[in-house]
Chains A and B, each alone.
Chain A
Amino acid sequence: MSVPHAKLPGWAEYGLIPLVNLAVAFLISGLVVLIVGESPLEAAYHMINGAFGRGEYIGFTLYYTTTFIFTGLAVAVAFHCGLFNIGGEGQAYIGGIGVALACLSFDHTLPWYLVFPIAILGAAFFGALWALIPGWLLARRGSHIVITTIMFNFIAASLMNYLLNKVFKPLGSMSLETRTFDAGGQLPKLDWLMSIFGLSVGTAPFNISFLLALLAAFGVWVLIWRTRLGYEMRTMGHSSAAARYAGIKEAKIIVITMMISGGLAGMMALNPIMGEQFRMQLDFVQGAGFVGIAVALMGRSHPAGIIPAALLFGMLYQGGAEISFEMPSISRDMIVIIQGLVILFAGALEHMFRPAITRLVLGLSPKTRDVAATKGA
């Protein structure tokens, strides 16, 4: 196979190309705003202001960021192994069972710092379990992982609907949610972190699971680039034939990768359940699992890229809420469009601008021009 593209320097590969893709996605979103009959510049102003204008807004932005770091990492880990885990949504939803069980069992008796680790394990366990089945089906029976994980999203939605109806809902309650947790099931806010910068978190549910998300991002970096398992995963991602030849047990790696991915997605449930609502509600994931796909694509599946990409989507979610408040004709569905466009341009069309950028970058850099000249002569 011929290599279609020349190698670019790192700053262009990981900086310029994603930025160009993002810019195009935003330009088209701006067009949609124009069609609706509003000013894109005004929308952009409300978005930035709504996301960063006040300590409280920043708190909300970082709250969403936390969620997207988890789901982004989940998709990225699977990407490294050449698997497309589109089931983050379902895994996060099922992960909620672990959090809810931990909180409902111990919130009266234990302080939050003891319930939190149990909830983390519970969330990761249930999320991993939900990813284990598609992983196992791929490894042993050759079922296509994309299709099975999509199916598992729907099965999870039905299952959770049933469980909330029949198991978790307190007697006599009408709404589909668990009871509100006691102090033991409520994570403390990170107001001390915000006050270092002289900001007040206000009512924003910015909580300690943000630190867990950063820790998870570091953990993923160590796993993928500094451990034997990560090496095996990346080998499989590049070439499963090479992995087989090197004696890597494919089935085992697939199942383990999917479980790690599902566990990360499941841990997302901590943030809304223990950090914001203090109860498990119907449909608490709200599409965060799918945002993870956009985040992983934007962040090029590297934790150092995923964190800023998650911040970007956190900004879109919080700023988007502010836009819909200021400009009623632009509802929060605008974010869904932007998300789709980011997935389109950073994912499916990632090579569209590459030839032009390659020409531009390599043409501008004097060193490569010299090399080209000597070759030509």
Chain B
Amino acid sequence: MDFFQVFIELAQSTVRLSTPLILAALAGLFTERAGVFDIGLEGKMLGAAFAAGCVAYISQSVMMGLFAAVLVSVLLSLVHGYASITQRGSQIVSGVAINFVVAGSTVILGEAWFRQGGRTPALTEDGRFGRITLPFADAVREVPILGPLYSGLLSGHSPLTYLAFLMVPASWWILYRTRFGLRLRAVGENPGAVDTAGISVIWLRYRAVICCGILCGIAGAYLSLSANAGFTKGMTAGKGYIALAALIFAKWRPKNILFACLLFGFLDAFAIRYQGYAFPLIGRVPVQFMQALPYILTVILLAGFIGKAIPPKAGGVPYVKER
């Protein structure tokens, strides 16, 4: 039973740690499937987390915080869109720029407004997302196996966690079962054909970028309103890049994104729990190795040793209408 208890705890922290990854990776899915590469996921999440922390503290309302997070993230996405769609600038350069501007300004503004060393003031319960306890969670806790699974693993998460997991099938449905999704994927593969059909490539890509902004905003809000009680300096700590890695690891497919993010979340949870623990046979696994594992796995995948990750064909190329 002890082993089972450990399993439940590991699984629960896996779910918690994967939530922002899932949201951010789905955000990347929308833009990259439309042919706009985005390495600015990190910056958008960080900006959203900051906005959420500030607004939730001032208004004492978690929904206002969430709204501010989405707004800031969408605005940053539009900057990326303006640079890479309208001005046809390099998408990579634009993403890098956004990451830096956000990393610097969250600290400067946070310090100027709250004077707590780049943090936003700690949020009270009103300013945070509580945990949802599913019906009967307490009643069935004593039932063997299923009880802990239900009340320990399925119940007791932030509403944003449930939203993140629901977004996976929802994104799949949007991308694969709606007209908008079909066109979005087409514009990432062959924008010329979409243009010939009389559909605006520019407007489609802008809409994809806005979708990305919304999801990144929720991911950021999760960090400062749910996983923590407020914003701390640099709190994304590379999660945007891990999400990017997960997106590639998932070969740009919604279902795979769920598994990739759960895998990377699990690695994180495992590294935290077993820091300095000596395993039989292997001995002590350096925590640094566990931290680097998502990146190493992604590189191995990119090298084509575990299947092949083929990016959207028109990804990274600004669209120029032929005259």
Contact = CB atoms under 8 A, between A and B. Distances in A.
A143 B299 contact: yes
Given A151-B245, A154-B241, A337-B105, A348 B84 contact: yes
A110 interface: no
Interface string A338-353: 1111011001111110
Interface string B95-127: 011111111110111011000001000000000
B250 interface: no
A337 B101 contact: yes
Contacts, number: 156
B264 to A, nearest CB: 12
Nearest to A352: B87
Range of interface residues on A (Cβ < 8 Å): 35 or more
A162 B289 contact: yes
Interface string A75-94: 00000000010100000000
Contacts of A141: 302-304
A341 B97 contact: yes
Contact of A331 (B90, B111, B288, B291): B111
Given A333-B103, A337-B101, A347 B93 contact: yes
B295 A340 contact: no
A245 to B, nearest CB: 21
A86 B245 CA distance: 15
B94 interface: yes
Interface string B288-323: 110110011011001110000001000000001011
Most buried by A among B99, B112, B238: B112
B99 to A, nearest CB: 7
Nearest to A293: B96
B98 A340 contact: yes
A341 B101 contact: yes
Contacts of A341: 97, 101
A84 B74 CA distance: 26
Most buried by B among A150, A290, A351: A150
Contact of A348 (B93, B248, B304): B93
DSSP class of A's interface residues: helix, strand, loop or mixed? helix
A35 B109 contact: yes
A161 interface: yes
B107 A331 contact: yes
Contacts of A350: 89
Contacts of A151: 241, 245, 295-296, 298-299, 302
Given A144-B302, A154-B295, A344 B101 contact: yes
Nearest to B112: A36
A155 interface: yes
Contact of B97 (A4, A159, A165, A343): A343
B99 A340 contact: yes
Contacts of B108: 32, 36, 330-331, 333-334, 337
A286 interface: no
Contacts of B91: 348
A339 B288 CA distance: 29
B78 interface: no
Contacts of B322: 1-2
B88 interface: yes
Most buried by A among B79, B91, B108, B111: B108
Contacts of B87: 348-349, 351-352
Contact of A329 (B92, B96, B97, B112): B112
Interface in B218-272: 238, 241, 244-245, 248
A2 B302 contact: no
A25 to B, nearest CB: 10
DSSP class of B's interface residues: helix, strand, loop or mixed? helix
A106 to B, nearest CB: 28
B83 interface: yes
Contacts of A144: 302, 311
Interface in A271-288: none
A128 to B, nearest CB: 18
Interface in A124-152: 137, 141-144, 146-148, 150-152
A348 B92 CA distance: 8
Most buried by B among A37, A152, A331: A331
A339 B296 contact: no
Contacts of A158: 288-289, 291-292
A142 to B, nearest CB: 7
B11 interface: no
B248 to A, nearest CB: 6
B98 A344 contact: yes
Contacts of A337: 100-101, 104-105, 108
Contacts of B216: none
Contacts of A343: 93, 96-97, 100
A348 B104 contact: no
A338 B90 CA distance: 19
A160 B298 CA distance: 19
A331 B110 CA distance: 11
B232 to A, nearest CB: 14
17 contacts: A32-B108, A143-B302, A146-B37, A150-B241, A151-B245, A152-B299, A293-B93, A329-B112, A331-B111, A333-B105, A337-B108, A343-B97, A347-B90, A347-B96, A348-B89, A349-B94, A352-B87
Given A151-B241, A159-B292, A344-B94, 14 more contacts: A2-B322, A32-B108, A36-B108, A36-B109, A146-B37, A147-B302, A148-B299, A154-B238, A293-B96, A337-B104, A340-B99, A340-B101, A349-B89, A350-B89
The 8 closest A-B pairs by CB, nearest first: A340-B100, A336-B104, A337-B104, A340-B101, A348-B94, A348-B89, A344-B97, A158-B292
Interface of A: 1-2, 4, 32, 35-37, 84, 86, 137, 141-144, 146-148, 150-152, 154-155, 158-159, 161-162, 165-166, 290, 293, 297, 329-331, 333-341, 343-344, 347-352
Interface of B: 37, 39, 79, 82-84, 87-94, 96-105, 107-109, 111-112, 118, 238, 241, 244-245, 248, 286, 288-289, 291-292, 295-296, 298-299, 302-304, 311, 320, 322-323
